[in-house]
A and B are shown apart, each in its own frame.
Chain A
Amino acid sequence: MDETQTPPKGRPRIGREELWAALLWVALTAAGEAVLWKAPLLPERYANTAHIVDDAFLVLTRLAVPVFAFVLTVLVVSLLRFRSRGEPAEDGEPIRGTPRTIATWLGITGGLAVLLIFYPGVYGILELQRAHSAGVEGETEPLIVEIEAARWAWTVTYPDAGVTTGEELVLPVDRTIRFEITSVDVLHSFWIPAFRAKIDAVPGLTTVTTVRPERTGSYEDDPALRLQCAELCGLAHSTMMLPVRVVEGPAFDAWLLEQGAAGMPTCEPSGTELRIVAENIAFDQTCLAVPADTPFTIELVNNDAGVPHNLSIAEDPEWTRVLYTGETFDGVATRTYEVPGLPAGVYRFRCDVHPIPAMSGTFVVKEVEGS
């Protein structure tokens, strides 16, 4: 531009201060990274989405450490070495920086920015998308939970079970859950800190977020397990909150039953000797019940001549967590299965040869008073 702005000749020299600074920077960075190794920076994770968010958080923090350490180093070394006692008697060296310095700096900061955009940036977005869709493919169906926000309460509906509640949000562990969220009045925001999941509830719009809880737990153990309104909505915004409880699948079904789930048969235990009849490719009962933690017997009467049947019990509708499988045999015959005690919960039973509705049912295992 003009003559006073031309940089001084020669390359910047490396003096004592530069060496000190390099050492300090490395030391601060190392210390920072070491602290990160163990520091419990983030709350407990209860869902698959939480891992993705927290991984991105840690990557960013790892990268932030050297950047912040650099600024800190320059400040500290300058304060220690370049401080003038009283008014400086002379000026500093007129170092204005060469185009090369600026280009190098731009290269480093630009490279960092581009890195951040792709990792953890775009990478994290894709991971979240995969997490949102993967479960949906792996299972037959995600569990749909409808959330309606209104000033100042949440209403939760399980459309398949026909259950609606405003008391708590109960979710089964290890199942993909698709939340369909809307609002009837102003903006609200659906946030479960333990899942790192957040999306606004917007009037006139249904927003969706998908999570797969990975651990059981409840608001009483960890307040991060709560559905908290995170968008200012007026008077009682602060307390627009619903406790979240993640339970095992059977306990979830049991809870749905308690809430009067439509279309789900229910029954009470009345002893440890069950009897069930299979005839015309159908069981004569849709519900069986036994006391919890007590061994029991099931007498299976197969009245279909030449047709094989059996009875098995599982936790989930996909029959991936099977608790008991009875031997298959042709009719007409009768067998008695001896089944070890099961923990309380609502399970399912079926005939493995004919897994049709007529040969399936609910298997209730319940604590019984005085037993």
Chain B
Amino acid sequence: MAILKGIAGAVAGYALGFAVVAAAQLAMGNPVGGAVPVVIGSVFATVGWLLGVGLWRAWAREWFGLEPRLDVPTGPGRYFRFNTDHKVIGVQYLVTFVIVFGLAGLLAMVIRWELITPAADLGGDAYNQVMSLHGILMVAVAVAAVLGGLGNYCVPLMIGARDMAFPRLNALSYWLIPPVAVLLLTAPFVGGWDSGWTAYPPLSVVNAGGQVLFVVAIVIFGLSSILGGLNAIATILRMRAPGMTLMRMPIFVWSVLAASIISLLFTQFFAASLILVLLDRVAGTTFFEAAGGGNPLLYQHLFWFYSHPAVYVMILPGFGITLEVLTHFSRKPLFAYKGAVAGFLGIVVLSGIVWAHHMFTSGMAHFMNIPFMALTELISIPTGLVFLSALGTIWRGRLWLRTPMLFALAVLFNFAIGGVTGIYLADVATDIHLQDTYFVVAHFHYTIVGGEIFALMAGIYYWYPKITGRMYREGLGRLHAVWMFLAFQLVFLPLFVAGIHGMNRRINEYVEPLRGYNVFASVAAFVLGAVFLIALGNLVWSWARGRVAEANPWRATTLEWTTSSPPPPHNFEQTPEVVGDPYPYGEPGAVHVRPVTVPTIAGGSE
């Protein structure tokens, strides 16, 4: 129902926005049409959508002196409306992004299908559009699935809070996402856009109209990220249960905090750079047009000023999940906990001052090469601390190889490759050759997919019983882990070699000697794609029919496992009291939370 109202609101908003601009255009004697009414229409449509879907009922009424209506239904209906429960929002994020991941994955299959032969099977323009859409959808998944999904669901539970600090803002962050998806997916109908997820001008100023929708979508998505980041930071700093000092927080919470700081501080630069592109397109400004006194390199600085830190928005929570799972499934305290925290914070600081390593071949001034190379290579130090923590944790542990653990171990392997190959791209001499080749493509898939997406899988299986109250099928889960691990290597290892041997990226035709690598990678990609069908079947079927899960199937020590699966609406029957380290494995008598006492009728003994 709420969704239908939202759609109605969106249509009305679009009509209103379009009409206002069209009227202004008429009044000024200009021809009606072009990009401006579409932009304003999309913005109005987003507002209309938000109001219809529940913002009006639950929040905006208040602004006009009316009583907000905060009643929410129970049952599946609660997922389909503006709902402020962080657990509902977490599930909304997860399900949405699983769908987006599936779509973008299908596009990846199209890309790999095109690249089986050196010749063009798909037109150049169609290919570029498919590649661009795959890229940006996957970037959205990578930025928001872990933070918005697992972060939302688990952080309040893990710190003993009843909800996020700003529940209505939280719901707003989520409901901004569907317009983003709709805008990106309608772009192909107005010519799409062919400039990749990076949208470098001048190309992005002169290409087809879909680029405008991309810009609007990213600005809205950025708003959602900023609000989400703000909310997570406030929650973690202000909403912790008694006794939950910062240094007693589970490591995943730390990683969410670190990533949220980056989202909050940097996202606006992406939005700003795209708004400048929009102005160049529709308002005749020349920020990036050399002939008009602008400079195309300016965009790259602005863009990477956000987009480099953004890769840490992606990977930090991935590290968090990985360490979290490794420690519980090794049944050992997290090794060098403070070192890992220092590593996260060191990454946050360094992430903001390395952006120009993406620009060694851009034609920027040469004197910037050495400082940006040096700063970038220093990131290996805090990253090394995360690895110390991970490897030290599994060493001499009691490794329980359930599905989440298999994924977490895979992250270590994959990220070792992703991290080491990153050095080649930070080194100026090697980057001159490798920049914009498949070496880069393989590198970032190893970090984002091999690091973060594998960690996302670990997290989904790990918290699945908590979220759904049911257990997935373990055999299928392990099959998924092993299959995905092996197929992933087969897809992306040969692509490193293809890049070294002269395969540039974002192409639909290539020279004959590169055929072998591509045929191999494509076949492996189809095998990789297939495993997600099994995984999806397992997760969907188990949600409905799986064995009912206990409160703490993993005998893990952190707070979310002390409450029922799934947790009650306000998470804990009684506010937990934290008394010690989050991972007191192997230390008899040590506990993280004071054991919940059986509630007595008259508040007496304890």
A residues whose Cβ falls under 8 Å from a Cβ of B: 1-2, 4-5, 17, 41-43, 52-53, 56-57, 60, 64, 67-68, 71-72, 74-75, 78-79, 82-84, 86-88, 90-97, 101-102, 105-106, 109-110, 112-113, 116-117, 120-122, 124-125, 127-129, 185-187, 189, 191, 193, 196-200, 202-205, 207, 223-224, 226, 228-239
Q: Which of B390-447 contact A (CB under 8 A)?
A: 391-392, 394-401, 409, 412-413, 416-417, 420, 423-424, 427-430, 432-433, 435-437
Given contacts A4-B581, A197-B432, A198-B435, contact A121 B377 (CB under 8 A): yes
Residues of B near A125 (CB, < 8 A) are 369-370, 373, 428-429
CB of B387 closer than 8 Å to a CB of A: yes
A230 in complex: contacting residue of B337, B412, B436, CB < 8 Å: B436
CB of B466 closer than 8 Å to a CB of A: no
CB–CB A88/B362 < 8 A: no
Chain B: interface size category: 35 or more
CB–CB A186/B203 < 8 A: yes
CB–CB A186/B202 < 8 A: yes
Considering residues A224, A230, A239, which has the most beta carbons from chain B within 10 angstroms of its beta carbon?
A230
CB of B478 closer than 8 Å to a CB of A: no
Of B251-259, B274-282, B504-512, B533-541, the stretch lying at the interface with chain A is B504-512
Considering residues A110, A113, A124, which has the most beta carbons from chain B within 10 angstroms of its beta carbon?
A113
CB–CB A96/B337 < 8 A: yes
CB–CB B392/A230 < 8 A: no
CB–CB A186/B206 < 8 A: yes
Chain A, Cβ-Cβ closest to B500: A42
CB–CB B587/A4 < 8 A: yes
Min CB distance B136 to A, Å, is 14
Of B167-175, B217-225, B326-334, the stretch lying at the interface with chain A is B326-334
Given contacts A4-B590, A121-B377, A202-B297, contact A196 B332 (CB under 8 A): no
CB–CB A71/B506 < 8 A: no
CB–CB A102/B290 < 8 A: no
Residues of B near A207 (CB, < 8 A) are 363
Please name the 4 residue pairs, one residue from A and one from B, whose CB atoms are nearest each other, closest first: A204-B290, A124-B429, A88-B398, A109-B384
CB–CB B380/A198 < 8 A: no
CB of B585 closer than 8 Å to a CB of A: yes
CB–CB B381/A187 < 8 A: no
Alpha-carbon distance between A92 and B397 when the two chains are bound, in angstroms: 5
A94 in complex: contacting residue of B388, B504, B506, B586, CB < 8 Å: B586
CB–CB A82/B336 < 8 A: no
10 new A-B contacts, CB < 8 A, other than A84-B399, A94-B584, A106-B384, are: A60-B424, A75-B413, A95-B332, A109-B381, A116-B427, A186-B206, A204-B295, A204-B296, A232-B196, A238-B120
Given contacts A223-B502, A232-B196, A235-B125, contact A72 B413 (CB under 8 A): yes
CB of B374 closer than 8 Å to a CB of A: yes
CB–CB A232/B506 < 8 A: yes
Chain A, Cβ-Cβ closest to B132: A232
Alpha-carbon distance between A240 and B433 when the two chains are bound, in angstroms: 18
CB–CB B502/A124 < 8 A: no
Alpha-carbon distance between A308 and B363 when the two chains are bound, in angstroms: 53
CB–CB A83/B500 < 8 A: no
Residues of B near A236 (CB, < 8 A) are 124
Min CB distance B291 to A, Å, is 7
CB–CB B332/A93 < 8 A: yes
Q: Mark B31-68, 1 if CB is under 8 A from A, else 0.
A: 00000000000000000000000000000000000000
B436 in complex: contacting residue of A67, A95, A231, CB < 8 Å: A231
Residues of A near B196 (CB, < 8 A) are 232
CB–CB B373/A224 < 8 A: no
Alpha-carbon distance between A231 and B420 when the two chains are bound, in angstroms: 24
CB–CB A57/B502 < 8 A: no
Residues of B near A88 (CB, < 8 A) are 331, 398-400
B332 in complex: contacting residue of A42, A94, A112, A223, CB < 8 Å: A94
CB–CB A97/B429 < 8 A: no
CB–CB A97/B420 < 8 A: no
Alpha-carbon distance between A297 and B289 when the two chains are bound, in angstroms: 62
Given contacts A88-B398, A88-B400, contact A56 B373 (CB under 8 A): no
CB–CB B397/A238 < 8 A: no
CB–CB B432/A187 < 8 A: no
CB–CB A228/B361 < 8 A: no
CB–CB B377/A238 < 8 A: no
Given contacts A71-B413, A78-B394, A202-B296, contact A189 B330 (CB under 8 A): no
CB–CB A202/B433 < 8 A: no
CB of B513 closer than 8 Å to a CB of A: yes
CB of B385 closer than 8 Å to a CB of A: yes
Q: Which of B336-369 contact A (CB under 8 A)?
A: 336-339, 361-363, 366, 369
Chain A, Cβ-Cβ closest to B592: A4
CB–CB B427/A56 < 8 A: yes
Q: Which of B175-226 contact A (CB under 8 A)?
A: 194-196, 200-203, 206-207
Given contacts A78-B394, A121-B374, A187-B200, contact A105 B295 (CB under 8 A): no
Chain B, Cβ-Cβ closest to A102: B339
Residues of A near B202 (CB, < 8 A) are 185-187, 203
Given contacts A124-B428, A187-B296, contact A193 B400 (CB under 8 A): no
Min CB distance A192 to B, Å, is 9
B427 in complex: contacting residue of A72, A110, A120, CB < 8 Å: A120
CB–CB B420/A68 < 8 A: yes
Min CB distance A238 to B, Å, is 4
A238 in complex: contacting residue of B124, B245, B398, B585, CB < 8 Å: B124
A43 in complex: contacting residue of B195, B429, B500, B585, CB < 8 Å: B500
Residues of A near B308 (CB, < 8 A) are none
CB–CB B429/A200 < 8 A: no
CB–CB A92/B194 < 8 A: no
Residues of B near A74 (CB, < 8 A) are 391, 394-395
CB–CB B335/A82 < 8 A: no
Given contacts A68-B420, A239-B509, contact A191 B332 (CB under 8 A): no
Residues of A near B397 (CB, < 8 A) are 78, 82, 92
Given contacts A92-B585, A94-B333, A189-B436, contact A79 B399 (CB under 8 A): yes
Residues of B near A196 (CB, < 8 A) are 432-433
Residues of A near B128 (CB, < 8 A) are 232, 234-235, 237
Residues of A near B596 (CB, < 8 A) are none
CB–CB A71/B412 < 8 A: yes
Q: Mark B505-525, 1 if CB is under 8 A from A, else 0.
A: 011111111000000000000
CB–CB A193/B335 < 8 A: no
Given contacts A5-B581, A92-B586, A102-B336, contact A84 B398 (CB under 8 A): yes
Alpha-carbon distance between A64 and B417 when the two chains are bound, in angstroms: 9
Given contacts A4-B584, A79-B399, A84-B398, contact A202 B362 (CB under 8 A): yes
Alpha-carbon distance between A165 and B339 when the two chains are bound, in angstroms: 60
Alpha-carbon distance between A348 and B555 when the two chains are bound, in angstroms: 87
